[in-house]
Amino acid sequence: MLTAFARAFQTPDLRKKLLFTLGIVVLFRIGAHVPVPGISYQNVQQCMDEAQGAQGLFGLVNMFSGGALLQITIFALGIMPYITASIILQLLVVVIPRLEALKKEGQAGQAKITQYTRYLTIALAILQATGLVATARSGSLFQNCSVGSQIVPDQDIFNTITMVITMTAGTGLIMWLGELVTDRGIGNGMSILMFVSISAGFPGALWSIKKQGKLADGWIEFGAVIACGLAMVALVVFVEQAQRRIPVQYAKRMIGRRSYGGTSTYIPLKVNQAGVIPVIFASSLLYIPALIVQFSGSNAGWATWIQDHFVRGDHPIYIVTYFLLIVFFAFFYVAISFNPEEVADNMKKYGGFIPGIRAGRPTAEYLSYVLNRITWPGSLYLGLIALVPTVALILFNANQDFPFGGTSILIVVGVGLETVKQIESQLQQRHYEGFLR
């Protein structure tokens, strides 16, 4: 991987793209440290020190924002509104015929869906910014903080609107920066910014574990976490690269005097076909009960039960529920993102067939059978990877921002692999040896 980057910097075009991407990343990280107008920066830092990192309720969003959420900066919402909007549009494409027709129109239809995603991102950003400001004003953003209610000193309506507009504009700017990286840089812009946000929290979280450690001044815990992280990275790379290749052959067709087809190819079905989306779905769904309790302020029996079983995240009921939800959403997302009947129809239309399988409905049934078989190990792998922070919470007494959590490792490794593949493919286009030297 390092060799690919070194060769890329030796190629003028790729060097410009890499430097442009690095410049956008620097701007993105600077914005993650600029506080929103109307916030008491000193009180926020004091609450951060007293809380020792993110609260469990906001841990996922804080991770995707690179720690900017709890510092209430202009990029506090991070990339999360865009991720949510993209997932919602993907689900709506399956449900709404109009969106499904747009998807089939090709590049023009995809541009329209992208525009809808932008509008939905801004709407979600306004909603999330309003919720974040209301939580900060009430003092619930940092629990057990002595100055938690003084984070927003001036609580008039004009100051509140200014804060919401600023954070919404920050989300729009992030979306624009991501699209710039996609058009003029290297890799997918949104994925790169997400990669940077998550990676930015690694050094601080690792050093926090070292300071909290008790064996050999914390170095033994530090080394154990590093070893665990390397093992997880190796496992994720192995599974993410694993795929089942279904052979496909295309019959020869004579059109005029020319012969077409007769080629052999394959359909790659990844073991983890759903990616990190099931983990995000399950985490978001399990945050809902804790949010209801927090905003209701109730001390009833049901509220106490939720606080005991779902807020901290190390209770057996929480662990089992989280694992089952990940498995369910893995099958659910694969079912809506890969349509065996559509693939079988397209193969039949162009004269393709799987050796030993009849074209049409038997091909669709075979693809569905294979997909279900490989989704089981993929979903179990996702569930086990996602439970690593919970195990760390129990064994190492780590906080909720354990650096090598399942979601963070899946995203970092996945984005890193895809970016390196894109760099290598562009290097092959620009650096080759001809027959004549």
Whether the predicted pLDDT of 328 surpasses 50 = yes
pLDDT in tens, 144-184: 676 666 788 777 888 888 989 999 999 999 999 998 998 88
First-to-final CA distance of the chain: 28
Give the mean model confidence (pLDDT) for residues 292-301: 68
Sign for the CA dihedral angle at 428, 430, 432, 434 comes to positive
State the residue for tokens 């930015």. 200
pLDDT in tens, 359-400: 888 888 998 999 999 999 988 988 888 887 677 666 655 554
Give the mean model confidence (pLDDT) for residues 207-214: 74
Better-scored residue on pLDDT, 52 or 250:
250
Looking at residue 48, what is its pLDDT? 73
Judged by phi (left if over 0) then psi (alpha if -120 to 50, else beta), residue 61 lies in: alpha
- Using a 10 angstrom Cβ sphere, with 0-12 exposed, 13-18 middle and 19 or more buried, the burial of residue 92 is middle
Sign for the CA dihedral angle at 143, 129, 407, 203 comes to negative
The per-residue DSSP string of 149-195 comes to: GGSSS--SHHHHHHHHHHHHHHHHHHHHHHHHHHHHSSS-HHHHHHH
Asked if 378 and 274 count as a contact pair (C-beta separation under 8 A), the reply is: yes
Q: Which of 16-30, 248-262, 377-391 has the highest mean pLDDT?
A: 16-30
- Give bridge partners of residue 249 from the DSSP assignment: 264, 353
Q: Phi, psi (5° rounding) for residue 244?
A: -100, 120
- Give the percent of the chain with pLDDT over 70: 81
Looking at residue 7, what is its pLDDT? 75
Domain ranges in the chain are 1-200
Looking at residue 168, what is its pLDDT? 93
Q: Model pTM?
A: 0.78
Residue 255, classed as helix, strand or coil, is strand
Kindly indicate the confidence band of residue 5, based on its pLDDT and cuts at 50, 70 and 90. low
Looking at residue 437, what is its pLDDT? 43
Looking at residue 256, what is its pLDDT? 62
Q: Please give the single-letter amino acid code of residue 289.
A: P
SS3 breakdown of the chain: % helix, strand, coil, rounded to 5?
A: 70, 5, 25
Looking at residue 87, what is its pLDDT? 81
Q: Is 1-200 CATH 1.10.730.10?
A: no
Kindly indicate the confidence band of residue 435, based on its pLDDT and cuts at 50, 70 and 90. very low
Better-scored residue on pLDDT, 269 or 296:
269
Kindly indicate the confidence band of residue 50, based on its pLDDT and cuts at 50, 70 and 90. low
State the chain's mean pLDDT as an integer. Answer: 79
Neighbour count for residue 251 (Cβ, 10 Å): 13
pLDDT in tens, 180-198: 998 888 888 888 888 888 8
Asked if 259 and 315 count as a contact pair (C-beta separation under 8 A), the reply is: no
